[in-house]
Amino acid sequence: MILHPPILALTLAALVSAGALVAASAFAVRLLGRWNLASGAQSQIDLEKRTYLVAVALRFAMAVEIAALVLFVFNADRMSAMFVGAMCAVGALNASVYGFPALFAKIALFFGASLWLAADIVDARGRDYPLTRWKYGLLIALAPLALAEAGLTIAYFLDLKADTLTSCCGKLFTSDRPTIASEMAGLDPRMALGMLYGGFGVVLAGAALARRSARARPLYGVVSLAFFAVALAAVVSAISLYVYEHPHHHCPFCLLKREYSYFGFLLYAPLFAGAALGASAGALGLVRTPASLAHAMPAILRRMVVLSALGFAGFVLVATWAIARSGLILTG
Amino acid sequence: MSGWWARQRYLLDYASASLWRRKGRNLVLWAIFAALVFILGSVILFGSAIRREAALVLRDAPDVVAQAMRMGRHDMALASDIAKLKSVRGADRIEGRLWGYLYDTSTDANYTLQTPSAHAPDLALQKGEAIVGEGVARLRKLSEGKHLFLVSPAGRLLKAKVKKVLSPESALVSSDLVLVSAEDFRAFFELAPDQFTDIAMRVRNPSEVGTVSGKGALALPHYRFITRANMARTYEALFSWREGLLLAIATGAILAFAILAFDKASGLSAQERREIGILKAIGWETSDIIRMKLWEAGLISVSAFVAGMTLAYLHVFAMSAPLIETVLKGWSTLYPRFALTPHVDALQVTTLAFLTLLPYIAAVLAPIWRTASADPDRVMR
Amino acid sequence: MIELQGVSKIYRQGRSNEIAAVCDLDLTLQDNRVTVLKGPSGSGKTTVLTIIGCLARPTQGRVLLDGEILSGLPEKFLAEVRRRTFGFAFQRFNLIAGLTAFENIVLPAYPLAPRFDTLKARALELAETFGVAHRLDLNVDDLSGGEMQRVAVARALINDPRVVIADEPTANLDSERAAQFLDIVATLKARGKTVLMTSHDPRIWSANVVDRVVEMADGRIVEAA
C-alpha cells in the first residue's frame, strides 16, 4: 500500500460512487415491485419523490467517476517514478495485476453510466415516465460493475509496492509476446490509419442513416463501439508515433503528459463523448418508443447520433492535425 | 442550451441571495470548510513539493553509487578501484565524483562543493572558474563575472570567477551548490590526484541494476553499492509514513466536517422550510429547488476551497509551512535548510478537491433532496 | 374548464390517524367565472384548492383541465401545468421575508427563465395595476398588510395564469381592504381570468362579482348555488 493523497482521493471516490449505485439499486428493486404511476397513493408519491434523489445522486456519482478516471490515469503517470522500469502510466498500471482491469472497469462504468443518464433524460420527457422500469433495471445491472470497479481500484492500490519491478510502455507495446496491446502496436500504421478513415466513413454513413431511420440506430451503436476500438488501435499503432515523433513509441498514456502539452485530452475527450453518445443512442434504439415519447424520444436520439458523429469527427480532426504537423514521416 | 443556462442563472441568483440572507449561519460553515482545505492543502502541497525535490535529486542521481568503506565509515574512493569496476559488464559511464561540504563562517551557511560531471558539457569549468547555486549567489551577492572567495577549514583560499548562476528550478538540488574544477577542488581540500569522494555508475538496462551492483560488490568487496531504487525507497518510506499519518488524522477531520455539513443541511430553520414550501406552491419544481440548493452548496464550497487553497499556498511556499513543520520535522533531517520551490499542479488541486468537495457534496445531497421534496400543498394546510 | 370527477384525498393513508379530507367529489368550474368555496374549517375546501391547483394529487378520481387528465401526472409535469395555468394568493400572503417586493413578484417566473427585461416590464405593469409600483424596492417586511396582499396578487399573476386561486383572501383584512380586494377580483374577471376562492367571509359570498358559491362539509359538497 502506498499512501499518496491522490490514492486516498481515488479510494474515497470509488467508495462514494459505488455506495451511491448500490443504494440506488436497492431502491430500484423496491421500485420495480411497486411502481404504478396511475396511483395517487402515498406509497407511490414517496417512490416518485425518491427518484429525484436517485437521479441527482447518480449524476453526482457519474461526475465523480469521470473526474476519477482522469485522476486515476494522471496519478498512475505520476507514480511511475516510484517503480523500477516504469516511465509512464503503463508502468504504474502494470505494477499490479489489478491495474489495467481497474482502468477497464472504470471505462466500462463510464459507458454504463452514460447510458443510464441518457435513459433518464429521455424518460423525464414522457408524461408517464415510460422508461422507468427499463432504467431501474439497468441500474441494478450496473451495481455489480460499480462494486467491481471500486474493488479493483482498492485492490490495485493495496497491491502496489514501491520496489516492484515493472515494464514501461516500450515493453508492453512491442510484439515479442502476442498480447492485445502488442497486436495493436504491431498493426501496420498505414493499415491502422486506413481503418481509421474508412471507419470514420462508415460512422458518417451510419449516422446519416440512423438520423433518418429508427431501425438503423442499434446498428449505429454497434458501429460507434467498433469505431471506438479502431480509434484506440490507431492511437496505439500510428497516431502516438506521430505525436511523439518517434517510430517506436507506442503509448496511449504518455499523450496525456505535460511534455506533449496534454494533447491526449484533446484527442480522447471527443472520442469518449462520441462513443458514449453513439452507444447510448444505439442501446435506447432497441427500446420500443413509448406512446408518450412518440415525438420527444426520436428527436433526442437523433440529436445524440448527430452529437456522437460530431465527437468522432472532432477526434479524427485532432488526429489528422497531429499527423499533419508531425515531423515524422511513416507513410510516403 | 441557452434556455438551460438562463434558468440556472435565475436559480443561482436566488441561491446567492438566500445565502446572503443567512450569512451568519453560512459563514461558520464556510470558515470551517476553508480551514479544512487550508490544513489539508498545506499537507498536500508540502508533501508533493518535497516529493518533487526528491524526484529532481533522484532524476540526476546515478543508477548506482559505490562508496568505499573503512571500519564501517565512508572513506575516499581510489582511481585504481574505478578501473576495476570498468571490467563489470553492463555498467557504462563509470566516473569518480568529487564532492564535499563546507561550512562558511562568513555567511553562517553550509555549501556543497562539487566538481561537474564529465558528461555535463554545459557545466564544464576551467581552473579558476565556478558555477554557484541561486542561494549562494544571494548570500554572497554574486553575479556572473564576480569573484567568489572561499576559505577551507585548513585555511586554504580559493578564488574563482563566477561563470554562471544556476536557475532555481529546484532549491534543494542547486541552491547551496558551488561547482569548481577538479584541480581547484583537490587543491582546496588537499586531496591526492587518485582520490575521489565516491564512484557513480550508469546502467543501460534498468532491470540489470541489481545484477550489476552485485558484480561490482564482488569486484570491490570493501565498497558499499547503493542503487537509485534504494534511495527512492528510502525517501518514499519516510514521506509516505509521515504524510500518511497526517492524512489519517485529516480523514477524521473530513469525516467530522461531512457530519457537520450533513447536520447543517438537515436542520433547516422553520423560516427556510416555509420558503421552500412557498417556492414550490408558486410553481417551482423539486428539481428546481435541488438545483438551487446545489448552487448554494457549490458557492459555499468552491469559494471556501479557493480561499483555503490560496492560504495553504502562501503558508507553504511563502512561509515554509510553520504550522505543520513540527509534524513534518523528520524531513528536515534530510535537508538541513531549504525554502520550497513554489509548484502547484493540476493533480494536487484535483486531489484536494476530491478530498474536500466530494465528501461535502455527498453529505448534503440527501438533506437537500429531503428539503426539496416537501409537499407543495403544505403552505396551504 | 376544470372538472373534478369522483375525487378523494386521504392524508396519512394506511395509518391509524388517516383522514379523508375530500370524499368522492364532483365539481365543474367554467372559464372566466368567480367561484367561492365556503364551509367550516376541516370541511375540505382548502384540499379542493390544492387538488385543482396541482399542488397535490388526488388519492382517487380524475382531474381534467380542458379535457386533459391531470391526475396521475408526476410532480414534474404537475409543476409545469401549475406554473402555466394557476396563480396563487395565500391566506397569510406567504411572501418571502428578506426579499424586496419586486423580487417576490418575479419569483414564480424563475423556473421559466424569461428574458429579464420582459420579466421586469411585466412586474412593473402589475405593480402599477395594483398600486404598489412605488414600493417595489422595499423589503416585504416593511409593507402594510394591504400592500402585502397586492404584492401577493401581483406575484400570482406574473406568469399570466388563466386561473387565480385564493385561500381565505380577506381573513386578515379590515372591511375597507376587503372591499379593495373584491375590486381586484373584478379586475381579474374583466381580464378573462377564472377565479376560485375559499372563504369564511360573508362579505365575499354576497359580493356582486362572485358568480357561484359552493358549500362544503365533511369533504363533500352540500349545496351549490
pLDDT tens string A258-280: 778 888 889 999 999 999 999 99
Same domain, A163 and A177: no
For the ranges A176-180, B284-288, C117-121, which has the lowest average pLDDT?
Answer: A176-180
Same domain, A331 and A197: yes
Q: Which residues of A touch B366 (CB under 8 A)?
A: 53
Task: Residue count of chain C, please give it.
Answer: 225
Q: Which residues of B touch C105 (CB under 8 A)?
A: none
Cα B151–chain centre separation: 35
Q: How many CB atoms lie within 10 A of CB C40?
A: 11
* Mutation for testing the A interface, residue in C9, C11, C13 having most A CBs under 10 Å: C13
Tell me how far apart the alpha carbons of residues A120 and A57 are, in angstroms, rounded to a whole number.
13
* Nearest CA distance, C215 vs chain A (angstrom): 26
Tell me how far apart the alpha carbons of residues C177 and C166 are, in angstroms, rounded to a whole number.
15
**What pLDDT score was predicted for residue B318?**
80
Give strand pairing partners of B200: B65, B95
Give Cβ neighbours of residue A65 (< 8 Å, ≥ 6 apart): A13, A17, A106, A109, A110, A113
Residue of A nearest to C15 (CA): A42
Please answer whether residues A78 and B348 qualify as being in contact, where contact means their C-beta atoms are separated by less than 8 angstroms. no
The answer to whether C103 contacts B17, with C-beta atoms less than 8 Å apart, is yes
3-state secondary structure of A269: helix
What is the 8-class DSSP label of residue A4? -
Q: Which residues of B touch C155 (CB under 8 A)?
A: 282
In chain C, which residue ranges form alpha helices assigned H by DSSP? 45-52, 75-85, 101-106, 116-129, 145-157, 175-190, 202-205
Q: Which residues of A touch C60 (CB under 8 A)?
A: 40
- Kindly state whether A49 is in contact with chain B, defined as any CB-CB distance less than 8 angstroms: yes
Tell me how far apart the alpha carbons of residues B184 and B129 are, in angstroms, rounded to a whole number.
9
- CA distances for A145 relative to A102, B339, C118, angstroms: 11, 47, 49
Please answer whether residues B337 and B241 qualify as being in contact, where contact means their C-beta atoms are separated by less than 8 angstroms. no
The answer to whether B380 contacts C46, with C-beta atoms less than 8 Å apart, is yes
Selected residue with higher pLDDT from A258 and A60: A60
pLDDT digits (tens, 9 = 90+) for A112-167: 999 999 999 999 999 889 999 999 999 999 999 999 999 999 999 988 876 666 66
Please answer whether residues B297 and B360 qualify as being in contact, where contact means their C-beta atoms are separated by less than 8 angstroms. yes
pLDDT band at A169 (very low <50, low <70, confident <90, very high): low
Tell me how far apart the alpha carbons of residues B35 and C152 are, in angstroms, rounded to a whole number.
43
* Nearest CA distance, C69 vs chain A (angstrom): 11
What order do you get walking across the sheet with B109-114 strand by strand? B99-104, B109-114, B177-180, B129-132, B157-165, B147-151
**What pLDDT score was predicted for residue A217?**
93
Identify the top-confidence range among B77-81, B154-158, B163-167, C105-109.
C105-109
Closest in A52, A82, A163 to B287, CB measured: A52
Give strand pairing partners of B257: none
C171's grid cell: 381573513
CATH of domain C33-45+74-224: 3.40.50.300
**What pLDDT score was predicted for residue B173?**
59
* Nearest CA distance, A67 vs chain B (angstrom): 9
What is the 8-class DSSP label of residue C62? E
Tell me how far apart the alpha carbons of residues B317 and B41 are, in angstroms, rounded to a whole number.
12
Q: What is the dihedral of CA B270, B271, B275, B281, to 10 degrees?
A: 50
* Mutation for testing the B interface, residue in A44, A49, A54, A56 having most B CBs under 10 Å: A56
* Mutation for testing the B interface, residue in C43, C94, C158 having most B CBs under 10 Å: C94
**What pLDDT score was predicted for residue A4?**
77
Closest listed residue to residue B347, CA positions, set A80, A202, C80 = A80
Same domain, A11 and A153: yes
Q: What is the ipTM of this complex?
A: 0.91
Give Cβ neighbours of residue B141 (< 8 Å, ≥ 6 apart): none
Tell me how far apart the alpha carbons of residues B79 and B76 are, in angstroms, rounded to a whole number.
10
For residue A58, the surrounding DSSP H or E stretch is helix A42-79
Selected residue with higher pLDDT from A23 and B3: A23
The answer to whether A5 contacts B237, with C-beta atoms less than 8 Å apart, is no
pLDDT band at B333 (very low <50, low <70, confident <90, very high): very low
> What is the domain partition of chain C in residue ranges?
33-45+74-224
* Mutation for testing the A interface, residue in C22, C57, C71 having most A CBs under 10 Å: C57
pLDDT (average), residues C84-100: 89
The answer to whether A124 contacts C13, with C-beta atoms less than 8 Å apart, is no
Q: Which chains pack against C, by 3+ Cβ pairs within 8 A?
A: A, B
B176's grid cell: 547551496
Q: Which residues of B touch A68 (CB under 8 A)?
A: 354
pLDDT (average), residues A214-236: 93
Give Cβ neighbours of residue A290 (< 8 Å, ≥ 6 apart): A126, A128, A130, A131, A297
Closest listed residue to residue A174, CA positions, set A237, A224, A120 = A237
Res B284 pLDDT > 80: yes
B334's grid cell: 534530510
pLDDT (average), residues B353-377: 90
* Mutation for testing the B interface, residue in C96, C139, C160, C165 having most B CBs under 10 Å: C96
Residue of B nearest to A87 (CA): B206
pLDDT band at A29 (very low <50, low <70, confident <90, very high): very high
pLDDT band at A220 (very low <50, low <70, confident <90, very high): very high
Range of the domain at A48: 1-169
**What pLDDT score was predicted for residue A81?**
67
The answer to whether B347 contacts A12, with C-beta atoms less than 8 Å apart, is no
Q: How many CB atoms lie within 10 A of CB A13?
A: 24
Same domain, A4 and A78: yes
Please answer whether residues C106 and C117 qualify as being in contact, where contact means their C-beta atoms are separated by less than 8 angstroms. no
Share of chain B above pLDDT 90, in %: 22
Give strand pairing partners of B179: B114, B131
Closest listed residue to residue C26, CA positions, set C51, C18, C86 = C51
Closest listed residue to residue A145, CA positions, set A180, A117, A104 = A104
Tell me how far apart the alpha carbons of residues C105 and C108 are, in angstroms, rounded to a whole number.
7
Residue of A nearest to B46 (CA): A5
The answer to whether B240 contacts A3, with C-beta atoms less than 8 Å apart, is yes
The answer to whether A5 contacts B352, with C-beta atoms less than 8 Å apart, is yes
Q: Between vectors from CA B164 to CA B163 and to CA B166, what angle results, nearest 5°? A: 155
- Kindly state whether C57 is in contact with chain B, defined as any CB-CB distance less than 8 angstroms: no
Q: Which residues of A touch C74 (CB under 8 A)?
A: 37, 48, 127-129
Same domain, A313 and A227: yes
Res B91 pLDDT > 90: no
Mean pLDDT of chain B: 83
3-state secondary structure of A282: helix
Q: How many CA atoms lie within 13 A of B177 on its CB side?
A: 25
The answer to whether C75 contacts A40, with C-beta atoms less than 8 Å apart, is no
Mean pLDDT of chain A: 87
Residue of B nearest to A162 (CA): B233
What are phi and psi for residue A173, nearest 5 degrees?
A: -100, 25
Share of chain A above pLDDT 70, in %: 89
**What pLDDT score was predicted for residue A187?**
74
**What pLDDT score was predicted for residue B327?**
62
Q: What is the dihedral of CA C80, C84, C89, C92, to 10 degrees?
A: 20
Residue with grid cell 377580483, as numbered in its chain: C185
Residue of B nearest to A7 (CA): B351
Chains A and B: how many Cβ contacts under 8 Å?
97
pLDDT (average), residues C26-40: 92
Tell me how far apart the alpha carbons of residues B2 and B84 are, in angstroms, rounded to a whole number.
76
Residue of B nearest to A48 (CA): B373
* Nearest CA distance, C184 vs chain A (angstrom): 35
Q: Which chains pack against A, by 3+ Cβ pairs within 8 A?
A: B, C
Res A178 pLDDT > 60: no
**What pLDDT score was predicted for residue C172?**
74
**What pLDDT score was predicted for residue A237?**
85
**What pLDDT score was predicted for residue B335?**
42
pLDDT (average), residues A85-98: 78
Give Cβ neighbours of residue C75 (< 8 Å, ≥ 6 apart): A48, A49, B285, B286
| C-beta contacts of B2-5 below 8 A and 24+ residues apart | B3/C113
Tell me how far apart the alpha carbons of residues B103 and B187 are, in angstroms, rounded to a whole number.
17
**What pLDDT score was predicted for residue C142?**
93
Closest listed residue to residue A105, CA positions, set A44, A40, A154 = A154
The answer to whether A40 contacts C58, with C-beta atoms less than 8 Å apart, is yes
**What pLDDT score was predicted for residue B143?**
85
pLDDT band at C225 (very low <50, low <70, confident <90, very high): low
pLDDT digits (tens, 9 = 90+) for B20-58: 888 888 899 899 999 999 988 888 888 777 777 777 777
Query: Mind spelling out the 3-state secondary structure of chain B?
Result: CHHHHHHHHHHHHHHHHHHHHCHHHHHHHHHHHHHHHHHHHHHHHHHHHHHHHHHHHHHHCCCEEEEEEECCEEECEEHHHHHHHCCCCCEEEEEEECEEEEEECCCCEEEEEECCCCCCHHHCCCCCEEEECHHHHHHHCCCCCCEEEEECCCCCEEEEEEEEECCCCCHHHHCCEEEECHHHHHHHHCCCCCEECEEEEEECCHHHHHHHHHHHHHHCCCEEEEEHHHHHHHHHHHHHHHHHHHHHHHHHHHHHHHHHHHHHHHCCCHHHHHHHHHHHHCCCCHHHHHHHHHHHHHHHHHHHHHHHHHHHHHHHHHCCCCCCCCCCHHHHHHCCCCCCCCCCCHHHHHHHHHHHHHHHHHHHHHHHHHHHCCCHHHHHC
**What pLDDT score was predicted for residue B337?**
47
Q: Which residues of B touch C49 (CB under 8 A)?
A: 380
Q: Which residues of B touch A169 (CB under 8 A)?
A: none
Closest in B271, B275, B380 to C167, CB measured: B380
Share of chain A above pLDDT 90, in %: 54
Tell me how far apart the alpha carbons of residues C175 and C183 are, in angstroms, rounded to a whole number.
12
Res B223 pLDDT > 70: yes
pLDDT digits (tens, 9 = 90+) for C132-172: 999 999 999 999 888 998 999 999 999 999 999 999 888 87
In A213-295, which residue ranges form alpha helices assigned H by DSSP? 217-234, 240-244, 263-285
**What pLDDT score was predicted for residue B336?**
40
Q: Which chains pack against B, by 3+ Cβ pairs within 8 A?
A: A, C
- Kindly state whether A63 is in contact with chain B, defined as any CB-CB distance less than 8 angstroms: no
Res C4 pLDDT > 50: yes
3-state secondary structure of A316: helix
A269's grid cell: 475527450
Residue of C nearest to B283 (CA): C83
For residue A171, the surrounding DSSP H or E stretch is helix A169-172
pLDDT band at A256 (very low <50, low <70, confident <90, very high): confident
Q: How many CA atoms lie within 13 A of B146 on its CB side?
A: 12
As for how many domains chain A has, the answer is 2
Q: Which residues of C touch A37 (CB under 8 A)?
A: 72, 74
pLDDT band at A331 (very low <50, low <70, confident <90, very high): low
Q: Which residues of A touch C77 (CB under 8 A)?
A: 127
Give Cβ neighbours of residue A130 (< 8 Å, ≥ 6 apart): A123, A290, A291, A292, A293
pLDDT (average), residues B207-225: 84
Selected residue with higher pLDDT from A53 and B226: A53
Chains A and C: how many Cβ contacts under 8 Å?
28
